[in-house]
Structure 1
């Protein structure tokens, strides 16, 4: 089944653009009507959206391996990596203890790498052979690389004073991070089209 006809690509452009617009509006709402934690703090619509998307991604990539068994070694590790990110986002709930569940998940990842080592090469090649993986990899770069670079205080101090740069820094860093998670969510949609809906239609 061809998921990349001109019509389907046009539909994607419209739907995905509306999704990105929605993410931007969430950030706008935080600027207009900040919640109790202030602008772009732990208790904000932007943070809640990041956590919700991460939860969806963890569930999706856990299920993806069951839909298509050959990529399960990779999709499970990805799901656990995203689970670590979710725990990190929720660290304000357990500020001194969040490192322990993270270490536990890292131990599980290490065990899975050891157990499935012989399958990982083929699974990785198949996973990244899919166009959907480009969305995922782009999201990783935006969230875990670009947003961190844009969050460097020394960059913002070139334009703002010590007393007032933090709000702009937080707004940009958190909105870029949300965008990255959004790209990863779009990767989940693309993988679902290939491995779930496409498979059912073919059957």
Structure 2
């Protein structure tokens, strides 16, 4: 990247991160307004606004992962991994409903099937797996996505332990408070995972566009890795 492109990159980064912040702010505002206007409703059940937002974020994550593979064929393995992980988390959010509609443990069977399909897909593009992972590890999107993963699958689980909240609130224990913290953390974590995937998509687009631009201008791009960073 030459010096002339730096201002554009800084401006685009500032714009993207501002939009990410607005997205998270709008989500939390909507959840707050829902709680204020419907204080007695089930705010955290399978059909709640929070659950709807969570599955929407996961759907967008899967879609963004798919777009990464479409833009850069050599990142197909990474694309499949992101889509598979997002799809498993998506199914997990419907665990209670699937257990009622189908059978007990149905979501686990579906998740296992997706996991197997993901591994088969990754194996198909195993030759480029190292490249795609290395390319992603060098981008800010990886750190953001990993942070989201830690929030959803580690921190929210620890903070959602009933024994912790009973110790904190003693006789005043209210399950809705525990659920609010746990589900709120999950929502923010899923948002970070989406942001990380969108950053990966942006870097992939920028890298492909950059290499294509050099190719059109007659510059030698052999051996270059279109990673956008």
Task: Provide TM-score, normalisation by structure 2.
Answer: 0.77
CA distance in 2, matches of 1:88, 1:3: 42
| Structure with greater Cα Rg | 2
1:23-172 paired onto structure 2 within 5 Å? 23-34=27-38, 38-95=42-99, 96=104, 97-161=106-170, 164-172=173-181
CA distance in 2, matches of 1:10, 1:69: 28
Q: 1:77 to 1:153 in 2, by over 3 A?
A: same
CA contact (8 A) 2:162 2:178 kept: yes
CA contact (8 A) 2:80 2:122 kept: no
Q: 1:10 to 1:59 in 2, by over 3 A?
A: closer
Deviates more, 1:41-50 or 1:94-103: 94-103
Where does structure 2 lack aligned partners over 5 or more consecutive residues?
Answer: 214-229
Deviation string, structure 1 residues 143-182 (Cα, Å, up to 9, x no partner): 1111111111111111224774311110011111111111
Where does structure 1 lack aligned partners over 5 or more consecutive residues?
Answer: none
CA contact (8 A) 1:35 1:44 kept: no
The structure 1 segments of at least 4 consecutive aligned residues displaced by more than 6 Å after TM superposition are none
CA contact (8 A) 2:136 2:200 kept: no
CA contact (8 A) 2:46 2:97 kept: no
State the superposition RMSD in angstroms. 2.5
**Between Structure 1 and Structure 2, how many residues are aligned?**
203
CA contact (8 A) 1:3 1:193 kept: no
CA distance in 2, matches of 1:130, 1:3: 19
1:81 is displaced (CA, Å) by: 1.1
CA distance in 2, matches of 1:64, 1:166: 40
1:93 is displaced (CA, Å) by: 2.8
Q: 1:71 to 1:30 in 2, by over 3 A?
A: same
CA contact (8 A) 2:54 2:190 kept: yes
